Amino acid sequence: MSCAAMQEQNPIVEARSVLASARRILVLTGAGISAESGVPTFRGEGGYWRNKSYQELASPVTFKRDPRLVWDWYLMRRQTVNDCRPNAAHVALAKWTEIARWTRDVQLVTQNVDGLHESAGHPDVIRLHGSLWRNQCTRCGKEREEKSLNYGQLPVSPCCGALERPAIVWFGEAMPTKPMAMAYLTCLACDAVLVVGTSGIVMPAAEFVINAKKRGAIIIDVNPDDDAVPAHIKLRGQAATLVPAILA
């Protein structure tokens, strides 16, 4: 079926049929999939905290100047996410992936740092931007899981006794090599991409979709708002309603 014909059909039915016949599927999620769990997207909340933009807060320069400020922002975000639960979209994706993987390659790549895919029981998550729930030693780079919601004294690493930072990829920093390579290989090989809750302008994730499309993959996009995702099938609505409907 041509892409133009697809647009004229019921997009949920079309999305289902594309995913049913695809052998290799990339699922790419962004902040929007967690919005209905209560985790704000940056764009949604205006992108400011204590009069600082999120670009300024998520920055190695700001951390060097004022680690307490940056840690307080991340602790506030940990507290927010700690009160949130995976929604129907996270749960449906986790269950569907578990079953689909018996016969097909399905790989989830997320830009999210909240850990809600993992809480939903997702079998395998590639995290492009790190995790809210991990600390990293500023001296040797070693990471550890850390769930504290408050720090009287800023955390120091057990390995080097050096200040720890959130294990998150900040603006201007290199992307982590292994997740990037795995995500890139998936986007080169896939024949369908399901994009959920991302604006399509955050690099490099946006590029994965463009590359997959150039190589012939069908792109399905779930978002209540207009976005920059170059999709063949656009489903305009909330993730927690549409994702379970597509994967039913």
Residue of 12, 16, 17, 43 interacting with ligand NAD (CB under 6 A)? 43
Cα pseudo-dihedral 8, 190, 28, 230, rounded to 10: -40
Scan residues 172-211 and list those touching ligand NAD (CB under 6 A): 197-199, 202
Residue of 111, 135, 157, 186 interacting with ligand NAD (CB under 6 A)? 111
Q: Per CB under 6 A, does 112 bind ligand NAD?
A: yes
β-strand pairing of 48-49 with 52-53: antiparallel
How many residues at the interface with ligand NAD, by CB under 6 A? 26
Angle at 108 between CA 228 and CA 200, to 5 degrees: 10
The answer to whether the CB of 118 falls within 8 A of the CB of 93 is no
Q: Which amino acid is at 15?
A: A
Q: How many CA atoms lie within 13 A of 26 on its CB side?
A: 29
The answer to whether the CB of 50 falls within 8 A of the CB of 218 is no
The answer to whether the CB of 101 falls within 8 A of the CB of 117 is no
Q: Per CB under 6 A, does 56 bind ligand NAD?
A: no
Q: What is the distance between the alpha carbons of residues 141 and 5, in angstroms, rounded to a whole number?
A: 50
Q: Which of 90, 117, 129, 232 is catalytic?
A: 129
Residue of 26, 27, 108, 113 interacting with ligand NAD (CB under 6 A)? 113
Quick note: the x/- pattern for ligand NAD over 146-175, rule CB under 6 A, is: ------------------------------
| Min dist. Cβ of residue 140 to ligand NAD (A) | 24
Q: Per CB under 6 A, does 11 bind ligand NAD?
A: no
Q: Between residues 112 and 186, which has the closer beta carbon with respect to ligand NAD?
A: 112
Token pair for residue 170? 């900040």
Scan residues 13-42 and list those touching ligand NAD (CB under 6 A): 30-32, 34-36, 39, 41-42
Residue of 6, 93, 194, 239 interacting with ligand NAD (CB under 6 A)? 239
Cβ neighbours of 226 (radius 10 Å):
10
Q: Per CB under 6 A, does 231 bind ligand NAD?
A: no
Cβ neighbours of 70 (radius 10 Å):
24
Which residue has the closest beta carbon to ligand NAD? 32
Active site residue 90: no
* Secondary structure (DSSP) of 130-148: EEEEEEEETTT--EEE---
Q: Per CB under 6 A, does 225 bind ligand NAD?
A: yes
Enumerate binding residues for ligand NAD (CB under 6 A): 30-32, 34-36, 39, 41-43, 111-114, 129, 197-199, 202, 222-225, 227, 238-239
Catalytic residues: 129
